[in-house]
Every structure is written in C-alpha cells, then in structure tokens.
Amino acid sequence: MAKRIFVTATNTNIGKTYTTKLLLEAFALRGIRVGVIKPIETGVIENTPDGDMLLATVKRVNMEFENIKVADIVPITYELPAAPFVASKNTPLDFVKLDCAIEKIEKLCDILIIEGAGGLYVPIDEKTMMIDLILYYKATALLVTHCTLGCINDTLLSKKALEDKNIQHVVAFNCRQKDESFTTVSQPYFLEIGEKVLKVNDDIDTICDVLYNL
C-alpha cells in the first residue's frame, strides 16, 4: 500500500486541486513515484474539470501513468454541482468501485494523493461524510484553508473535526493575491496559539516534508 495523503479543505473552491497539483510536482522532484485520485467529482457534464487537470499533471511527473484515463483518476462522477448526497440522490457510495480504482493507481506510485470534494462534512450518502473517507483509507490529511476574513473560525472548526477523529493532519493556507490583509488580520492569532503558518505557494516543500514524515 502506498502512503496516502488526503487533501481536504475548509469549504469548496478553496484550492484543493491547485494544492494537489503542487504536491504532485514537489514529490516528483524528490524522485518519489507519486500518484493521484479524486474519488468523487460533481458538476461533470461534458468533461471532468478537476480530473482532467490532475491527470495531465500526474502524467507529466510519473510516466507510469501513460495509459491511465480520467475515469481511473475520477471513478465516480455526477452531473449536478452539489454535495454527492444530493447529486446522486442519496445513492449508497460504491466502496468496491473506489477500492478497485485505488488498487489500480497504487501499483504505479509510492505516495498516493487523494483529493476530496468540498469540505470535511460534505455528505456522500446517508451513512458517509467526506471525513469518513480519510479514516477508511487510513490517510494523513492536508487541510487547505483560505486567508480571507473568517479563516480563523473555518480553520479551527475543521481542525477540531480532524482532531476529534484522531486524524493526523497538516494545515496549509492558500493565500491569493487579494489576501494581503491575512498577515495583519488573521495570521497573528495562529502564531499566538502556536500554529505554524505554512502557505501553499511559499512552503510547498516544507508541507511535503511534514506530510511525508507523519
């Protein structure tokens, strides 16, 4: 079994796919065979936006993915851009399909990055939340959070959810150009409580090191 890293976030549109692509590139530069899978993607009609980007990236950094298709990277898709519970009309999650997809991908890599959909408590079916997949696949979590006003609350809530389930995790802040106020408005609090502020763009190598050693 490959080492598994589950990329999650405090909400949707926070930067999971962007961060996952950076992780793929950073691990590959270390000479590590790295792979990726996004178990579920919603909002899929004519193409698979996240899956297509991830597939292009992993093929570039790991030649063993040459014959892998987007359906291998994203085994379950739904058209409606909503929580899987809603998009699937509460169809029970097909764990057998996911397990088979992961088994196929893990033959090609030593580190598997699993990208979630939305945040930790996005419902997949009536029994399963996104956070449950982290436990099911015995993965370490990378929590991607934002840098706008409100990130303190959002980050602490998601961290508590991970801690309550004893999930090892790393927090990474995806600061965008418009987030200049972060250093004066939110970062001081995180530093005061002893939270190391790792930024996706600036500290991806450190983030990789910490994840690798967890």
Q: What is the residue whose two structure tokens read 């950076």?
A: 22
For the chain, give the number of residues. 214
Q: What pLDDT is stored for residue 1 in this prediction?
A: 81
Q: What pLDDT is stored for residue 94 in this prediction?
A: 98
Q: What pLDDT is stored for residue 163 in this prediction?
A: 98
Q: What pLDDT is stored for residue 34 in this prediction?
A: 98
Indicate if 199 belongs to the active site.
no
Q: What is the DSSP letter of 164?
A: H
Q: What pLDDT is stored for residue 169 in this prediction?
A: 98
Q: Can you list the residues of the chain whose pLDDT is less than 70?
A: none
Report the Cα–Cα distance between both ends of the chain, in Å, rounded.
Answer: 16
Q: What pLDDT is stored for residue 19 in this prediction?
A: 98
Rg (CA), the chain: 17
Among 3, 16, 21, 38, which one carries the catalytic annotation? Answer: 38
Which CATH fold topology does 3-213 show? Answer: Rossmann fold (3.40.50)
Pairing type for strands 128-129 and 140-145 reads unpaired
Q: What pLDDT is stored for residue 89 in this prediction?
A: 97
Q: What pLDDT is stored for residue 177 in this prediction?
A: 87
Q: What pLDDT is stored for residue 40 in this prediction?
A: 98
Q: What pLDDT is stored for residue 29 in this prediction?
A: 97
Q: What pLDDT is stored for residue 24 in this prediction?
A: 98
**For the chain, which residues make up each domain, given as ranges?**
3-213
